[in-house]
Structure 1
């Protein structure tokens, strides 16, 4: 039998879903394309693994989750849209200003920038009352990285992943009405695991962005130069750096999976499957982060996602 607390949560979630659906039907985008479809398309194009996981969420959570993911994608890809750091910072400032506008008292949709993601995010924030600090972390963390261009230590990298990835999971939990310390703890560990795995994936792109994502303390410890990383030069020392980051990611993933969380949170944490899949592939490559096979999409990942979703595990 459902407890009174669970019944209340379900009722609240249903009401918020209805409010969000009603708000969405009141407006259309100037491009004549549904703004939610736009959000889904950019997540699918730039964050495919999380897109697949989001599709397997319950219908009530799927739409607002896609909007949050789309907002994150827009911020994350600012740097890749230009080689000029000043232009990148200006584009990031647009999202700073937009987020500020969204959270103004008595704000209306007409006063939000005519950007599909911005307008859809306003609708989600209006209905679900998402804490601004979670979304603000996504912007601030990437702005700091754009200015610093490197991580001093593995601890610095983990702090960045907590701000840039775990914050998304905190927001997802809020959307689901889950206020649970155990779930927050799992979100923190999973965010760090996924963020570290994402950084490992980004290392081959270092030369394009002129940034070295391997922490400086690891480079010094294993006698690897920044130039070696930018040149995508594989070596035993470089693999030792990769190994240490991968071990940290795997430890966080194991900790996240050991935590008992509310059943609804399991579907939110489904991307853990993709993190585990990547780390296993990296291990098979003997931690050569430049191995070409690592950039290929996993044909089995959709099945793994679906199987774990049926089991309601992550």
Structure 2
């Protein structure tokens, strides 16, 4: 039994609404495991977002590394609700530690002010973070093992989601004078103008580059999905389809400083139902 309180389920719905909504398609124990994974991922993903200094983020991530060590070595586990739920999930679904360690390390990269030189490096970071989230989610949802096709679907869906998520949070990051763009994408950008909330033709170019990479990941995800045997596990990555409206906005709008996409609950549900029915994003 995975120890989840109603407050934890509500928290998951608040911090990761798309991922949590997709758990509705899973069996009860798998859904509980997914929510525990969602809350854990949120904790490590927000390490850099909620502090002013990289060192403080490093301390938060180290806390979770030590919690994982307690879980996997059988030491007394700290009395923290998400850690307790994650422990039960790990043991129930036999989750590999290497994936969880890699996920934590991936978010640790964000302590750097300029973490990525190229779009390819951002793609690898996306795979290390949300690609590994997806692999763990597939195991929780019922995949007996991560085949080559499932691995590729997890990677590409992770790239799609991570780029969309970073761009959707553009106003918050630029307010903090942080810009999660590869160095190669910044050529010609006036960073002070970006931090001041000003648009420009150069910024439009960057948005279209981001759109191109999401479209490529979307195509590659569905190519992998056609080869993969998901069984009942596909809903574990179906949430990524809800990132696609943001990608379309990258191509058609010049101003990322405003909230350009807001899907109603019904629209999100319909998109997820259609995705799960086809086993495609």
| Structure 1 and Structure 2 fold alike (TM over 0.5) | yes
Cα distance change on mapping 1:233 and 1:298 into 2, 3 Å = farther
Residue 282 in 1 paired to residue 223 in 2?
no
Residues of 1 paired with 2:208 and 2:274: CA distance?
Answer: 29
Residues of 1 paired with 2:143 and 2:8: CA distance?
Answer: 22
How large is the Cα RMSD of the aligned pairs? Answer: 2.0
Which of these residues, 37, 40, 61, is aligned with residue 6 of structure 2? Answer: 37
Cα distance change on mapping 1:85 and 1:313 into 2, 3 Å = closer
Residue 232 in 1 paired to residue 197 in 2?
yes
Q: Who is 1:48 aligned against?
A: 17
Aligned residues: 275
Residue 71 in 1 paired to residue 71 in 2?
no
Contact 1:98 1:112 in 2 (8 A): yes
- Shift in Å, 1:39: 3.4
Residues of 2 paired with 1:37 and 1:138: CA distance?
Answer: 26
Which of these residues, 101, 123, 132, is aligned with residue 167 of structure 1? Answer: 132
Contact 1:239 1:289 in 2 (8 A): no
Contact 2:109 2:115 in 1 (8 A): no
Indicate the SS of the match to 2:233.
Answer: helix
Contact 2:138 2:234 in 1 (8 A): no
Cα distance change on mapping 1:178 and 1:232 into 2, 3 Å = farther
Residues of 1 paired with 2:121 and 2:197: CA distance?
Answer: 23
Q: Who is 1:202 aligned against?
A: 169
Which of these residues, 175, 178, 183, is aligned with residue 216 of structure 1? Answer: 183
> Structure 1, residues 44-103: CA drift from partner, whole Å, max 9, x if none?
111111111122223342111111111001111222322233322212211111111111
Cα distance change on mapping 1:171 and 1:257 into 2, 3 Å = same
Q: Who is 2:276 aligned against?
A: 309
Question: Please, what TM-score do these two structures have when normalized by structure 1?
Answer: 0.81
Question: Please, what TM-score do these two structures have when normalized by structure 2?
Answer: 0.89
Residues of 2 paired with 1:234 and 1:92: CA distance?
Answer: 35
> Structure 1, residues 152-173: CA drift from partner, whole Å, max 9, x if none?
1111111111111100111112
Which of these residues, 131, 141, 147, is aligned with residue 96 of structure 2? Answer: 131
Residue 185 in 1 paired to residue 180 in 2?
no
Structure with greater contact order relative to length (CA < 8 Å, sep ≥ 6): 2
Residues of 1 paired with 2:14 and 2:67: CA distance?
Answer: 23
Q: Who is 1:8 aligned against?
A: none
